Amino acid sequence: MTYDVAIIGGGIVGAATFYKLQKQNPGLNIVLIEKEKRFADHQTGNNSGVIHSGLYYKPGSLKAENCVKGRHELVAFAKEHNVAHDVCGKVVVATKESELPFMDKIFENGIANNTEGIEKITAEQVKDHEPFVEGIAGIWVPCTGIIDFRGATEKMVEIAEGMNEASKAILGEEVIAIEKGEGKSTVVCASTKYEAKHLIFCAGLQADRMAKKDGVDLKEKVVGFRGDYYELTDQAKHKVNNLIYPVPNPDFPFLGVHFTRMTDGEIECGPNAVFTFKREGYGKTDFSLKDTADALSYGGTWKLFFNNMKFGIDEYRRAFSKKLFLKTLQGLIPSLTMDDIRPGRSGVRALLLGQDGDTRDDFRIEYMENSIHVLNAPSPAATASLAIGGQIADKAEKHFNLK
């Protein structure tokens, strides 16, 4: 059959797009195509599981607007469909005087972004929330939470499939090529071809490659950064109640190492951020010649390296040294010891990198004649997924003239 819409990519953004588009248009025949054997097997299923509040993002940006809207939708969805979650709150902690001006800035961001309930707190109040943390001031963010993002993704797909018996979600089918035809496209996979009138790409770590297969003239390139986590051992779990974040360094493109109580009760510490030699590689020594050549032949990668040389060296040293990782964690909880942490899992983040080395911070969605491409959806995309999916569904209705 020829589907009305084919969605490529079964992470949480692809699942949310499937769910929203099908909910708004029950009569549409939609196919969701995912190359892995499970949904949410890359960025979605390997992130820190945090429901972000909207504190860090520039007011008026797509990140800010979609994070706050999406957070409310995600929590409501989780409540309605019994997805494991807990809106437990977090503390953002300043540990030195030089961090206070930027702490004030993100607090003002939070106010501008309607991040409800946030308040500045003293060192003593920080300890009321997290007794083992040492800091000089902080921000209490009660609307931050934790969630099983993989479970949320699977539930969105399940509900969307149930709305129309002709719609389906396909696992284990990697998209090899896109063939353009008259009024429709053929999505060529390893073992099957799927015809669709319109295409929506939510391909995450493969977003730039999928865009090129669809004929998009994309100047930027996706570059992967691996984040390694440690876990607290049972003897140390009492030292963290919920979520503890540092004040992020404005010169560093990531939020920094933090503590997260997961929905399964484990407590993760991390992640760091190191260039990965394999886009979908989660081990420290994973390597892909294609991915490495792709990244290192691109001028933007080298400009990012040179612009962040000190950070990059520090992150790599910490990636291979438990002692250095612990030292970073002790900046927030000085009483942690080597016996309190053990190596955990890793995740890989996709950054759409400009030729000038800029990390293209905001969400980016582009529209072709009969296709839509989510080219950049870094954190907080998982939190914002239902808002992003709703935005794509609305645009698709107009852009593809679905109604």
Q: Summarize pLDDT for 74-119 with one digit per residue, the tens.
A: 999 999 999 999 999 999 999 999 999 999 999 999 999 999 999 9
Which residues, other chains included, contact 347 with Cβ-Cβ below 8 Å and sequence gap of 6+?
43, 46, 47, 48, 226, 227, 229, 271, 282
Domain count, the chain: 3
Per-residue pLDDT, 253? 62
Per-residue pLDDT, 256? 81
Q: Is residue 74 part of a domain?
A: no
DSSP bridge partners of 122: 137
Judge whether residue 204 has pLDDT over 90. Answer: yes
By mean pLDDT, which of 21-25, 48-52, 309-313, 329-333 is the weakest? 309-313
Residues 114 and 159 in one domain: no
Residue type, 157: V
Mean pLDDT over 122-138 rounds to 98
Three-state DSSP class for 225? Answer: strand
Mean pLDDT over 269-275 rounds to 91
CB 223 within 8 A of CB 353: yes
Residues 228 and 347 in one domain: yes
Instruction: Return the CATH number at 235.
Output: 3.30.9
Per-residue pLDDT of 331-370, as tens digits, reads 999 999 999 999 999 999 999 999 999 887 799 999 998 9
Domain limits at 207? 2-45+150-220+361-399
Judge whether residue 155 has pLDDT over 70. Answer: yes
Per-residue pLDDT, 62? 94
Mean pLDDT over 230-241 rounds to 98
Q: Which residue has the tokens 């939609």?
A: 30
Instruction: Return the CATH number at 194.
Output: 3.50.50.60
E-state strands within 44-101: 50-51, 85-86, 90-94
Buried b (16+ CB within 10 A) or exposed e, 45-79: bbbbbbbbbbbbbeeeebbbbbbbbbbebbbebbe
Residues 101 and 230 in one domain: no
Per-residue pLDDT, 108? 96
Instruction: Say how many Å lie between the first and final Cα of the chain, rounded.
Output: 20
